[in-house]
Structure 1
Amino acid sequence: MASKAGIRVPEMEKMSIEHLKALKEQTDLEVNLLQDSLNNIRTATSRLEIASAALNDLSLRPQGKKMLVPLTASLYVPGKLDDADKVLVDVGTGYFIEKTMAEGKDYCERKINLLRSNYDQLVEVATKKKSIADEAGVILQAKLKQLGAAT
């Protein structure tokens, strides 16, 4: 039986208990880091989806329409919609670019698609790493059981 990530079970069975423990710990650590990355991508994707929905809502409002403008997550101030065709897009590290509404929507969609693609790739890698950790754990338990039975 071959593992998906290149380490085969027969190779693991030849490893010492110390090497198996180290392999399991390392792959468990990598799986945890990948899970954190997946959570971050999920959060970023949901923020972009919210921004995209806000752009769609904003594009439907007439110019001069009174509205509440968010300054923080819980603080809103009254404002008036001046130009619904121009938006500021946060491109990261404190930089904003003025774009048309269509360009802003396109930017959000491209970023969402990129994040989803990265998410799918990370899920695949995390699954492979989890498989290695599980296989190493099973083999380690078997070796420890054999060692306990031999003494």
Structure 2
Amino acid sequence: MYVPGNLHDVQHVLIDVGTGYYVEKTVGEARDFFKRKVEFLTKQIEKVQPALQEKYTMKQAVNEMLNQKIQQLAAVNISQTGTVKA
């Protein structure tokens, strides 16, 4: 949605600092705040990424084992009954 508007004070802005709180800062202070925020989030992503990759690898291994077990059970079921059951 687009709503036209005019800024009364272009030297000060409100920034969302989290959990619904807003702080009035100058444009320069706001720029510095967001620069620090981006750096912090980038560091957090770098910390979490190796754990995420490990979890993904573990998930793939579990999926492969489950598929093998399902195939084994299907093969046993076919050999015992001679038909395929869903």
Per the shorter chain, which TM-score range? 0.5 to 0.7
Larger relative contact order, structure 1 or 2 (CA cutoff 8 Å, min sep 6): 1
SS class of match (1:77)? coil
- Unpaired runs of at least 5, structure 1: 1-72
- Unpaired runs of at least 5, structure 2: 80-86
CA distance in 1, matches of 2:61, 2:4: 53
- The RMSD of aligned alpha carbons is 2.4
Identity percentage over the alignment? 30
SS class of match (2:60)? helix
What is the Cα deviation at residue 130 of structure 1? 1.6
Length-normalised TM-score, structure 2: 0.63
Cα distance change, pair 79–111 in 1 and its aligned pair in 2 (3 A):
closer
SS class of match (2:5)? strand
What is the Cα deviation at residue 141 of structure 1? 1.8
CA distance in 2, matches of 1:83, 1:89: 14
Tell me the equivalent position of 2:17.
91
What is the Cα deviation at residue 136 of structure 1? 0.9
SS class of match (2:2)? coil
1:116 to 25, 42, 50: 42
What is the Cα deviation at residue 99 of structure 1? 2.2
Tell me the equivalent position of 2:56.
130
What is the Cα deviation at residue 113 of structure 1? 1.5
Cα distance change, pair 99–79 in 1 and its aligned pair in 2 (3 A):
closer
What is the Cα deviation at residue 79 of structure 1? 4.1
What is the Cα deviation at residue 105 of structure 1? 1.0
CA distance in 2, matches of 1:143, 1:94: 49
Aligned residue type for 2:6: P
Aligned residue type for 1:124: P
**Alignment coverage as a number of residue pairs:** 77
